[in-house]
Structure 1
Amino acid sequence: MKITTSTMLANAIRDQRKALQLTQADAAERVGMKQTTVSGFEQNPDTSKLETLFRLLSALELELHVLPRGEAADKDSGWTQEW
């Protein structure tokens, strides 16, 4: 998924939380945060700390990949043959 804004990132994290059937409180508890911190991130990510982002990624079993623009996200998948 290509994410270009903080709102898109917050939405993706919220969607993953819901896909895991976790409440904001559940996600927060996994990494020692308050529910209000998770809510704040989802509603207004521009004012959130980077630490909050990484703790939420951990709680939701997500990882962040930073790539140069135009580079395919699956480039390092190891598959080199075309069909």
Structure 2
Amino acid sequence: MTIRSSKDLGAAIRRARKAQKLKQVDLAMMASLRQPLISELENGTTNATVDTVLKVLAALELDLTVMPRRKASFDPTEY
């Protein structure tokens, strides 16, 4: 999945959480975070730290991979 915005990241986290049949409160406990932060992260309405994102991804047993972008036109409105 290509993630280019906080909303994309939130959608990916929500999709993974639901696929594992977890509630936000379950994920929050697994990542040692508060449930409202999980909600904000899933909605793309927080400026979460990289550490926080990595905790959530680890709790969901997901990895973060960084790779070069495909050659495409840059759209600053995506950010």
TM-score class, shorter-chain normalisation, is 0.7 to 0.9
- Correspondence for 1:33: 33
Uncovered stretches (5+) of structure 1, i.e. residues with no partner: 72-83
Q: Which amino acid aligns with 2:38?
A: V
Rg larger for: 1
Q: Deviations over 1:45-74 (max 9, x none)?
A: 452222221111011110010001129xxx
- Correspondence for 1:75: none
Q: Which runs of 4+ in 1 moved over 6 A?
A: none
Uncovered stretches (5+) of structure 2, i.e. residues with no partner: 72-79
Structure number with the bigger relative contact order (C-alpha 8 A, sep ≥ 6) is 2
- Correspondence for 2:8: 8
C-alpha RMSD of matched pairs (Å):
1.6
Distance 2:68 2:44 in 1: 26
Q: TM-score, normalised by structure 2?
A: 0.79
Could you tell me whether the CA contact under 8 Å between 2:24 and 2:39 is conserved in 1? yes
Q: TM-score, normalised by structure 1?
A: 0.76
